[in-house]
A and B are shown apart, each in its own frame.
Chain A
Amino acid sequence: MILLQDVKKSYFSKNNTVHALKKVNLHIRRGEIFGIIGYSGAGKSTLIRCINLLERPTSGKVFVNGIELTSLSEKELRKSREKIGMIFQHFNLMNSRNVFKNVAYPLRGKGLSKDEIRDRVFSLLELVGLKDKAYSYPSQLSGGQKQRVAIARALANDPEVLLCDEATSALDPQTTQSILRLLKDINEKLNLTIVLISHQMEVVKEICNRIAVMENGEIVEEGNIVDIFSNPKANITREFIASAMHYDKIYEILDRDPFIRDLSKDDVVAKISFVGQNTGQAFISKISIEYRIHASILFGNVESIQGVPVGNLIVHFTGENEKIQRAIKYLEDSGIKVEVIKSDGVIEFSDAKRNRAIS
C-alpha cells in the first residue's frame, strides 16, 4: 500500500545540514496498522510527512496505492492527497468553523449537493460518535472530541490511508485509549491502512500489527509487534520495551526491598521472562511441586500484546541451591528466559543495573 524506496531528506541551512532521513526503505501493507516509534528528533514526523509529500524527499521514491507520488505534478499530487487522510497532535481544526463545517471543508467543491454533503458529514460524525456536537465550535470541545472531529474530517473523502502524527500525544491516558479504539474500529470497518507515529510504546503496542523503530533518521528495527516485544534486537527497542513494561519498577523494588538484601546463602532471585502460551505462573507452581522449592513472586507484569501474553516476573527461590539450579535449567529448557539477579549471597546488582534497559 505504501512503499518508500531509499527515501532521504536533508534540511540545508547556512551553517549546517540536518539529515533527517537517511535512506529509509519501508513497506506498509494494505489494511494494517503500522506503528513508527522513536525518540524526539528521530525523524518520525519527517517520515510520515514524506508519505503524503507535505515534505518532498531530497531523493528516493514514494508510492501510495501503486502510484508514484514523487513523480506527480502538484495538481495530480493534490488529487492523490484526497485519498490520504492525516491527523495531527494538535488537531488543527479551523476555529472559525463549527464541527459540521470543519468536516464539510474537504467535501466542498467536489460537485456534491448540499444534501449529499449534509448526509456525508452526519454519517462521519456518527462514526466518530459526535453527532450531537455538529454545531459546536472547536473551542467548546475537549481534546478527545477535537481529535474525533479531525478524524471525521480526514475520512471525508474516503481515504485509503490515514496518517497519524502523534495523534494521542496531547491527550490523557483514558482519552488516548478511546481514540485508539476508534482508530482500530475504523481500520476494521473501512479496511483503512493506518500509519501511526508515537514516542510511546504503550500507544503502538495497543493497536499496531507491525512497527518500525527509528533512531537518528534511520529505521533500526522493524517487524511484528509480538516478535519485537519478545525478541527485541536494537538497544533502543529494548529501552522502549523496558519503559512500556515498567521494568524500572522492578529495579526500584530490588533497590528498596530489605527482604531481598537479607537473603540466605542458598536463595536465588531471578527475573523470568516469557512470551505466549508459556504462562510463567503455571511454571512457577509446577517447579515448586516438582523440585520441592519455594518460588514466590516478588513482582509481576504481564502485558497482553495483540492478545499474546508477554510477561516478566521477579521470583524469589528458596530451598536447596542445587534444586533451584535444576529448576532454573528446566525453565530455560521450556523456552523461558531466566536472568539471575542474586545468588550465593552475592547481589549481582551492577550487572542487573547495566542490563536494566536491555531487558
Chain B
Amino acid sequence: MMELLNSLMPNVIELFPDMVKSLKETLIMVSVSGLVSAALGIPIGVTLVVTREGGILENKVVYTAVGKVINIFRSIPFVILLTAIIPITRFLVGTTIGIKGAMVPLIFGSTPAVSRQIESALLKVDPGVIEAAKSMGSSPLEIIFRVILIEGLPGIVYALTITTVSLIGFTAVAGTVGGGGLGDFAIRYGYQYFKTDVMIVTIIILLLLVNFVQTVGELLLKKLNH
C-alpha cells in the first residue's frame, strides 16, 4: 500500500508533514478571517439595510458613506489590495508575512463582500413583517434583533457560506505573497518545482474543503427553513 502511494505520488509522501501544516494554516486563516469579517460584515450589512431609503433608521448620510467605502474596497482586485495595504497590515499585526500577515488583507478583502451579501440577504426580509412589528410597538433595535436578524437568518447563513467559499480562494492567493497555507504550499512545490502530484493532491484537498463548507451551509439552511 505504502509502496503504491510512494510510486504514484512520491513528493506528497515526502512533503506530507508540510502539507498537514499548510492545511492547518489554511483552516486558521479561513476561520479567523471568516469570523472577523462576519463580525464586521453583519453589522455593516444591517447598517446598510436600516439606513437606506424607507428603512427603519433611514439616514442618507450614513448609508451613502458606508456604501461608498465598501464599493471602493470591493473594486480593488485582491492581489493589489494585498500589497496596497501593507503599511496597515504592519501597523496592525507587526508583520506582513506568514498567516498573521495574510489575515489582515483577507479581512479587508472579505468584509466588504460579506457586508453586501448580508445586505442583499436582509433586504429580502418581508417589509410587511417589519411593518407588523412596528405596529406592535417594537423599537428599531428590537426590530433589528428580533425581526430582521431572525427572519433573515437563512439568508445570512447562505451569504456566509458563499463568502467562506470565496475566502478559501482568497487564502490561496494570499499564500502566493508568502502567506503560508495550502495555496503557498501548492505554488512552492507544485508549480515552482514541477511536482505535479503535489499540485493535484492540494487541489483535491481544496475541493473537499469547499464541498465541506457548502454541505454544512446547506444542512444549516435546511434546518432553518420552515
| Residues of chain A having any CB pair with chain B under 8 Å | 52, 54, 75, 78-82, 84-86, 88, 90, 92-98, 105-106, 108-109, 137-140, 150, 153-154, 156-157, 163
**Interface pair B226/A78, CB less than 8 Å apart:** no
Considering only CB atoms, which chain B residue lies closest to A52 in the complex? Answer: B135
Contact of B142 among A96, A109, A139, A157 (CB under 8 A): A109
A106 to B138, CA, bound (A): 8
Contact of B135 among A84, A97, A108 (CB under 8 A): A84
A105 to B128, CA, bound (A): 15
A78 to B138, CA, bound (A): 7
A140 to B134, CA, bound (A): 25
A108 to B147, CA, bound (A): 13
**Interface pair A88/B137, CB less than 8 Å apart:** no
**Interface pair B137/A139, CB less than 8 Å apart:** no
**Interface pair A93/B136, CB less than 8 Å apart:** no
| Residue B126 lies at the interface, judged by CB distance under 8 Å to chain A | yes
Most buried by B among A82, A92, A109: A92
The 9 closest A-B pairs by CB, nearest first: A137-B226, A92-B132, A92-B128, A86-B135, A81-B137, A82-B137, A106-B136, A78-B137, A92-B129
With A82-B136, A105-B136, A106-B136 in contact, do A95 and B226 touch (Cβ < 8 Å)?
yes
A108 to B129, CA, bound (A): 17
CB distance from A351 to the nearest CB of B (A): 47
**Interface pair B226/A54, CB less than 8 Å apart:** no
Residues of A within 8 A of B131 (CB): 54, 88, 92
CB distance from B156 to the nearest CB of A (A): 11
Contact of B128 among A90, A97, A140 (CB under 8 A): A90
Residues of A within 8 A of B132 (CB): 86, 88, 92-93, 150, 153
A-B residue pairs in contact (CB < 8 Å), sample of 28: A52-B135, A54-B134, A78-B138, A79-B137, A80-B137, A81-B134, A81-B136, A85-B136, A86-B135, A86-B136, A92-B126, A92-B131, A93-B132, A94-B129, A94-B147, A94-B150, A95-B126, A95-B226, A96-B151, A96-B224, A97-B150, A98-B226, A105-B146, A106-B138, A137-B226, A153-B136, A154-B136, A157-B136
Considering only CB atoms, which chain A residue lies closest to B128 in the complex? Answer: A92
**In residues 79-130 of chain B, which contact A (Cβ within 8 Å)?**
126, 128-129
Considering only CB atoms, which chain B residue lies closest to A139 in the complex? Answer: B226
A32 to B151, CA, bound (A): 36
Q: Which size class do B's interface residues fall under?
A: 20 to 34
With A137-B226, A139-B226 in contact, do A93 and B135 touch (Cβ < 8 Å)?
no
Q: A52-B135, A94-B147, A109-B142 given. 10 additional CB < 8 A pairs? A: A75-B139, A78-B137, A85-B135, A93-B132, A95-B151, A96-B150, A96-B224, A98-B226, A108-B146, A150-B132
**In residues 143-158 of chain B, which contact A (Cβ within 8 Å)?**
146-147, 150-151, 153-154
Number of A-B pairs, beta carbon distance below 8 Å: 69
CB distance from B32 to the nearest CB of A (A): 29
| Residues of chain B having any CB pair with chain A under 8 Å | 126, 128-129, 131-139, 142, 146-147, 150-151, 153-154, 224, 226
CB distance from A97 to the nearest CB of B (A): 7
Considering only CB atoms, which chain B residue lies closest to A75 in the complex? Answer: B139
A247 to B59, CA, bound (A): 52
Residues of A within 8 A of B135 (CB): 52, 54, 81, 84-86, 154, 163
A84 to B139, CA, bound (A): 15
**Interface pair A78/B150, CB less than 8 Å apart:** no
A260 to B224, CA, bound (A): 66
With A78-B139, A137-B226 in contact, do A93 and B129 touch (Cβ < 8 Å)?
yes
A98 to B226, CA, bound (A): 9
Residues of B within 8 A of A80 (CB): 137
Residues of B within 8 A of A81 (CB): 134-137
A154 to B137, CA, bound (A): 11
Residues of A within 8 A of B137 (CB): 78-82, 106, 157
Residues of B within 8 A of A92 (CB): 126, 128-129, 131-132
A78 to B136, CA, bound (A): 8
A109 to B139, CA, bound (A): 12
Most buried by A among B126, B136, B151, B154: B136
CB distance from A188 to the nearest CB of B (A): 23
CB distance from B108 to the nearest CB of A (A): 32
A51 to B142, CA, bound (A): 22
CB distance from B58 to the nearest CB of A (A): 13
A140 to B131, CA, bound (A): 22
A97 to B146, CA, bound (A): 11
CB distance from A165 to the nearest CB of B (A): 10
A84 to B128, CA, bound (A): 17
Considering only CB atoms, which chain A residue lies closest to B152 in the complex? Answer: A96
Residues of B within 8 A of A82 (CB): 136-137
CB distance from A13 to the nearest CB of B (A): 11
Residues of B within 8 A of A140 (CB): 226
Residues of A within 8 A of B129 (CB): 92-94
CB distance from A91 to the nearest CB of B (A): 8
